[in-house]
Chains A and B, each alone.
Chain A
Amino acid sequence: MHEWSLACQLVREAEAEAERRNAVKVFGVTVSIGQLTGIVPELLTRAYDMARMGTLLEDAALEVEIESVKGRCAECGRESFIQGFGLMCPECGALGLEVLSGDDILLTKMDLEVREKPFRGRGGVHV
């Protein structure tokens, strides 16, 4: 179950990003999973629910978006969306499509509460 390794990596990356942005709370994170990766969204979510415990992401819900597989045919030059793993051009039947999308595992969005930088400009009057 490599989803566990990925969930741990997701928590590490998202926590580091949250800290870089001075976040005090994370409400949600979104990942995009390419269909060619074979990652099972339900398993990733279950693994994430364990991995986020005791971290800055403890209350952050995970949203998983699926990235479709798109390929470009070297023979006919057409770009097509593909179902499954077979990289065959649906237009002309040529094999070995160049993959344009569908094999990434990306952290794409975070919903954060961020601490503002202390004001250093003019007019610092407390009301």
Chain B
Amino acid sequence: MCETCGCGLPEEAKHTHGDHDHTHREEARLYKNLLDANEAQARENRQHLMEHGIFAVNLMSSPGAGKTSFIESVAKAVKGKLRVGVIEGDLATDLDADRIRALELPVHQITTGSTCHLDAAMVHEALHQLPLADLDLLFVENVGNLVCPGLYDLGCHLNGILLSVTEGDDKVAKYPVVFRQAQFFCVTKIDLLPHVTFDSSRPRREARILKGDLKTFACSAKTSEGMGEVLAYLAAEREALLH
């Protein structure tokens, strides 16, 4: 019954009123994925990158694991063979972008303010700030955080995680969400292994339980030890995607 006019007519005798609406209460059953909007944008980013023949890698890690050093090391190694560009994500400052700029590489800094991760829309904006026609390989350096970036597909072709030996060998089991989203992970700063307690087999073992096909590497950007295997893997993945 309408509370305004008191009418409670059957369906066929319903009527319109000039001064009020009839309302009713209903329960809507839905199946709406809250990450759909981000995933749609991520697919668009991947398509956009493919059209330009760019292979893109999203690098995730906790702060200080060596993402920027890793990118610097790869960029130096492929200089003259592949044209590298970088999107940097940080809460504040463009210190990392300055390091990339020093290598004379195209870079765009995303300063997220208080947001703890990059998302596909931010990367989309950033793509329009880069000379895409002049790039072969794009690194997206995510905000240093081993929790939040795991939920957000950026539209890259590979998600990689870096884990430095100084962080401890138990981090894979402790931060499973982000590791589940990765295709590869790399233990970094292995030049420091003599100085820390780090069981190199443990992260590999724990990663296999989370994600059986996760590729694992170990490297030092400082001494270049192990970088060859990482480079070969990235080159093979790029080749498989683009050719």
Residues of A within 8 A of B (CB): 1-2, 5-6, 9-10, 13, 17, 21, 24, 27, 31, 36-39, 84-88, 95-96, 104-116, 118-119, 121-127
Contacts and interface: CB of A to CB of B under 8 A. Distances in A.
A113 B116 contact: no
28 contacts: A2-B148, A2-B152, A13-B37, A17-B28, A17-B32, A24-B23, A36-B177, A36-B180, A37-B151, A38-B147, A38-B150, A85-B177, A85-B180, A106-B33, A106-B34, A108-B29, A108-B31, A108-B32, A109-B27, A109-B28, A110-B27, A112-B25, A113-B24, A113-B25, A115-B23, A119-B14, A119-B16, A127-B7
Interface size range on B against A: 35 or more
B27 A111 contact: yes
Interface in B1-53: 5, 7, 9, 12-17, 21-35, 37
A105 B21 contact: no
Contacts of B15: 119, 123-127
A106 B31 CA distance: 6
Interface of B: 5, 7, 9, 12-17, 21-35, 37, 115-117, 119, 147-148, 150-152, 176-177, 180, 208-213
B34 A114 contact: no
Nearest to B6: A127
Contacts of B177: 36-38, 85
